[in-house]
Amino acid sequence: MRMMNYARNRDRYLNRYAALKGRSVYVRSLQNIQNAVAIPVLQEKGTLFESLASIAKNPASDLEKTVVICVVNNHSPTVAGPAAISENQETLDILYKIVKRSGIPVYPEQRLNDSLGTILDSRLRLACVDASSPGNEIPDNLGGVGTARKIAMDAAVMLIDKDVSANGIISCLDADTTVEENFLSAIRRYFWVNNVPAATVRYAHRMPSDMQLLSAICRYEIFIRSYVIGLMFAGSPYAFPAIGSTISCTAGAYVAVRGMNTKEAAEDFHFLDKLAKIGRIGFIENTTVHPSARISERVPFGTGSKMKELIENGSGRLFLHDPEVFKILRLFLSETEFFLDKKAVEIMFEVSAIHPALSEYLTAISFPKKWEAIRDNSVDPGQIRRQFHLFFDGLKTLRLIHYLSRRYFPPVEMFAGLKGLLKMTGKEMKALKDISTDSADSEDLFNVLQELRIMFPNS
Q: Is the pLDDT of residue 300 over 50?
A: no
Query: Are the CB atoms for 18 and 153 separated by under 8 Å?
Result: no
C-alpha 18/C-alpha 280 separation (Å) is 25
Domain ranges within the chain, ordered by starting residue: 2-206+240-297, 323-407
For residues 291 and 293, what is the distance between their CA atoms, to the nearest angstrom? 7
3-class DSSP assignment, residue 408: coil
pLDDT tens track for 365-375: 999 999 999 98
HSE at residue 208, side-chain half, CA atoms within 13 A, is 15
Sequence-separated (6 or more) residues with CB below 8 Å from residue 434? none
Quick one: pLDDT at residue 436?
66
pLDDT of residue 1: 37
| CB-count burial class (<10 Å; 0-12, 13-18, 19+) for 67 | buried
For residues 457 and 285, the answer to whether their CB atoms sit within 8 Å is: yes
- Which pLDDT value is given to residue 340? 81
Residue type, 86: S
Q: Are strands 178-179 and 281-290 parallel, antiparallel or unpaired?
A: antiparallel
Predicted confidence (pLDDT) per residue in 121-147, tens digit:
999 999 999 999 999 999 988 878 899
Closest CA to 325 of 241, 216, 219, 417: 417
Enumerate the β-bridge partners of residue 288. 202
The CATH code of the domain at 2-206+240-297 is 3.90.550.10
In Å, what is the CA distance from 240 to each residue of 2, 237, 361, 429?
Answer: 29, 8, 23, 21
pLDDT computed for residue 307 by the predictor:
46
Query: Rounded mean pLDDT of 267-292?
Result: 95
pLDDT at 397 over 80: yes
Which segment of 90-104, 269-283, 296-310, 368-382 scores lowest on mean pLDDT?
296-310
Q: DSSP class of residue 457? A: T
Q: Which amino acid is at 294?
A: R
52 backbone dihedrals φ, ψ, rounded to 5°: -65, -40
Q: Which stretches of 73-180 are DSSP H helices?
A: 77-80, 82-100, 110-120, 144-159
